[in-house]
Amino acid sequence: MSSTATDRRWSWSPLTVRLMLAQTAVLVVGLIIVVVTAVLVGPSMFYQELIESGHAYAAFGLVHLEDAFRSVILTALVIGGLPALFIAGMLSFYLYRTIGRSLASFSTAAGQVAAGNYDVHVTSTKLGPEFDLLADSFNDMAEKLAAVDTTRRQLLADLAHEMRTPLASLKGHLEGIEDGVVEWDERTIGIFDAQIARMERLARDIRQLTAAEEATARLQLTLQDPGVLACQAAAAIEPAAAVKNIAVTTSSGGPMATPVLLDQERMGQVLGNLLENALGHTPPGGAITVHTDNAPEAVTVTVTDTGEGISPEHLEHVFARFYRVHTGREAHRAGSGLGLAISRSLVEAQGGTLEAASDGLGHGATFRIRLPRNRDPG
C-alpha cells in the first residue's frame, strides 16, 4: 500500500473522526462556558464590586453600557476564539492522523506476520517513548518468529534427511528379500534391528530436544552439588567404559564446594550425554576425566577425553542439530546428532553455558559446563 493511500485511509478513519469530534466538543463546550461567564456573570460581578467599594451611584450609571459591554466581549471572543478553535482542530487532526497512520503501519505489519512474512520491520513513529517501545517490541517479536520458523524448516529438512538413510536401507533389503537376492538370515535381521533402533533413537532424541527447548517453564530447581551429579554420571558409564578398556576418573577442587540451584534430572541428562559422547569417540585404552571446579563466582564441570578430537572447522558446529564430525558408517556410533544440541539447550535453560574445545584431530576434546552462582535461569 502506498503512502498516499495510507494517509487517505487514516485521515478520515472512524478512529480519527471520533477523536476529532470529541476534541471539538470539548473546545466548543469550553468556549460556551467562557461566553456565558463573560456575558452573564461578568457584568453582575462588576456591578457588585462597584457597590461594595462605595461607588453605587457609578454602578447604577453604567447600566446603560451593559449592552455595549456584552457586544465588545462577544466580538473579542469571536475574534480570538474561532481562530483558536480552528488551530486546535487542525493540530488535533494532525495528531490523530499521525496516530492513525502509525496504527495502520502496525496493522499492516501484523497482517504480514500473520501471513508468514517475518521480514517486516516497523519504523519509529517519533510519537514518544511508548510508541518507540511498541515498535521495538514488535520488531523483536518478528525477528524471533523468523528465527523459530527458520529453525523449524531446518529441523524438518534435517529430520527428512536423517530418516531417508535407514528407510532406504530397510526398503532395499525388503526388495532384495522379495526378489530372492537377499536371504533372511542373522545378518539381515541384524541390519533391520540396527536401522529400526536408529529411527527409534532419532524419535527419542527429537522428543528430548523439544523438551529441552521448553524446559525453562518446567524447571525444578533445587540446591544440588554438581560434583556429586558428575560422580553419579561417571559411575553410570563405567561398565560400558570397562568393556572398551577406557578409564573414567572424577575429581574436584576449589574453595567453595557448596550446592547451587540445579534441575537434578536435567543436569544428570546433560552429564550423561557428554560422557556417552566422550565414550563413543574415545578408542580402547583411552581415558575420560570429569573435573568439578567450585570457584566463588561459578561452578564448572569439565568432561575431557583422549579420543579423536575435533578439527577447527568442525568445532564451531558441534552443537548444531544433526551435525556430525564423521559421516558414513562412523556416524552411526555417534548417535542421531542431537545429543550435544539437547545438552546445550538444557544447560542454557538453567542459566549456564556449555562450550567445546579441542586442540585438533588426535588430541581429544573438552566440554565445559559453567554455572554462575548468581544467575537467572531461562
| pTM over 0.75, yes/no | no
As beta bridge partners, residue 289 has 249, 304
User: Residue 328 burial by CB count (10 A; 0-12/13-18/19+): exposed, middle or buried?
Assistant: exposed
CA geometry: angle 243, 245, 246, nearest 5 deg: 110
* Three-state DSSP state, 280: helix
**Domain boundaries of the chain, sorted by first residue:** 3-117, 219-372
Give the dihedral sign, CA 252/253/259/260.
negative
Question: What is the bridge-based pairing of β-strands 287-294 and 298-305?
Answer: antiparallel
Residue 271's pLDDT is: 92
Residue 328's pLDDT is: 39
Task: For domain 219-372, give the CATH superfamily.
Answer: Histidine kinase-like ATPase, C-terminal domain (3.30.565.10)
- CA–CA gap between residue 370 and residue 309 (Å, rounded): 21
* Identity at 161, one-letter amino acid code: H
Could you write out the three-class secondary structure of 155-205?
Answer: HHHHHHHHHHHHHHHHHHHHHHHHHCCCCCCHHHHHHHHHHHHHHHHHHHH
Residue 157's pLDDT is: 72
C-alpha cell at 137: 517490541
Q: Are 109 and 138 in contact (CB under 8 A)?
A: yes
Q: 109 CB contacts (<8 Å, ≥6 apart)?
A: 120, 121, 122, 138, 142
- CA–CA gap between residue 327 and residue 297 (Å, rounded): 40
Q: With a cut of 50, list the residues of the chain below it in pLDDT.
A: 1-11, 327-334, 378
